[in-house]
Structure 1
């Protein structure tokens, strides 16, 4: 069976998430239509939707990829920590044995990516998404999808910091161990600590206090 074709909104959102378009980059209808091989009408509608969601902003007559200031970043991490912590706790309670096995395999497989921050960042997103799904709460998953869309507005990944990939993988391991133990509180706390450490690392990256490896 043929995979369903992605719509213009999804294509643009994924391009922002992958860093093809970074905060401050101008998005032009004709360029996007040519890049993705679609007509300008769905591109225009997708841009309007992204603007409504505050992922794009106006600069005169142009639409540019939005950026997050310090306060917005802090607010985003607070919400992310609480929602993801809840997701991890619910995963400990409701995940099937197979879903837990997938999380464990992800941690083991990601060890080979430690020297590739961009690949590690993609794997990190998959890991967190798997926890969201393992919570078996559709409303929580929807809210976390909104949070992670805003995460795409960050110009760099915290995994670009020297030593952060190794630390993040250890934190992922602790999260999975708590889920394997079916410990609601421990899983939630482990994920909240993971998000907190990622936020501290991002602040240090932005201030130049730690070195980047990319």
Structure 2
């Protein structure tokens, strides 16, 4: 069982299980810390420090870092590795890809979705409304991801699902690192989810595609506003 301990940075980290490949565990642990913002965008990661914190070899960490670099969650500059720090154009590019992929997934899901998947979506929306009332931003983010994952799998298109998973980590990273202070936007996005759900339940591919495209475009505007606020430039725009 992976336990938690507090390291020198004052961060609770999962401890290594000796029963699983170490480089895979380190990969998932560091990825989780990046996704949760425990390592900040642009922060330099040093093999020796991570290895010392986790009690593993530098070679193990190096292999995990290689996997994270392949995911584009770490970027190499000269001889150092830094946590992915997306620029405005990166976010625009990711959301443009996401809009095309998820609009298609909604269209296909309207034709192929199973009854139990519709039930799952309805339950996600119910739980999202409860989380909104608290509000619980972390739970809303998790439920949001489950909603989009369910629709992608309901498309039953293996190639689309693979492409969806390629950008999924970056989308979640952007949500966690850029949209974490935008809790006021969740009410609108949950309403969008409800409209998408009804289109899927009606088995209307064109409507489901239209609603999903509008939803992703709205999400892009939220990301844009959050990024501009961080940059201190309310007049700038992603495009």
Asked if Structure 1 and Structure 2 have the same fold, meaning a TM-score greater than 0.5 normalized by the shorter chain, the answer is yes
Match among 191, 216, 224 for residue 195 of structure 1? 216
Q: Unpaired segments of 5 or more residues in structure 2?
A: 1-18, 235-239
**Rg larger in structure:** 2
Aligned equivalents of 1:36, 1:100: Cα separation in 2: 42
* Greater RCO (CA < 8 Å, at least 6 residues apart): 1
**Aligned to 1:20, what secondary structure does the other structure show?**
coil
Match of 1:151 in 2: 171
**Compared CA separation, residues 97 and 44, structure 1 to 2 (3 A):** same
2:141 corresponds to 1:124: no
Match of 1:212 in 2: none
Match of 1:96 in 2: 114
Aligned equivalents of 1:35, 1:195: Cα separation in 2: 39
Q: CA deviation at 1:62?
A: 2.2
CA RMSD of aligned residues (A): 2.2
**Aligned to 2:95, what secondary structure does the other structure show?**
helix
Q: Is the 8 A contact 1:66 1:153 kept in 2?
A: no
TM-score normalized with structure 2 length: 0.77
TM-score normalized with structure 1 length: 0.86
Q: Is the 8 A contact 2:105 2:160 kept in 1?
A: yes
**Compared CA separation, residues 122 and 54, structure 1 to 2 (3 A):** same
Match of 1:84 in 2: 102
Q: How many residues align?
A: 206
Q: Unpaired segments of 5 or more residues in structure 1?
A: 210-214
Detail structure 1 runs of 4+ shifted over 6 Å in the superposition: none
Per-residue CA shift, 1:52-78, capped at 9, x if unaligned?
343211244321112111112111111
- Identify which range, 185-194 or 146-155, moves more after superposition: 146-155
Per-residue CA shift, 1:142-192, capped at 9, x if unaligned?
111111122244363436325311111100101111111111111111111
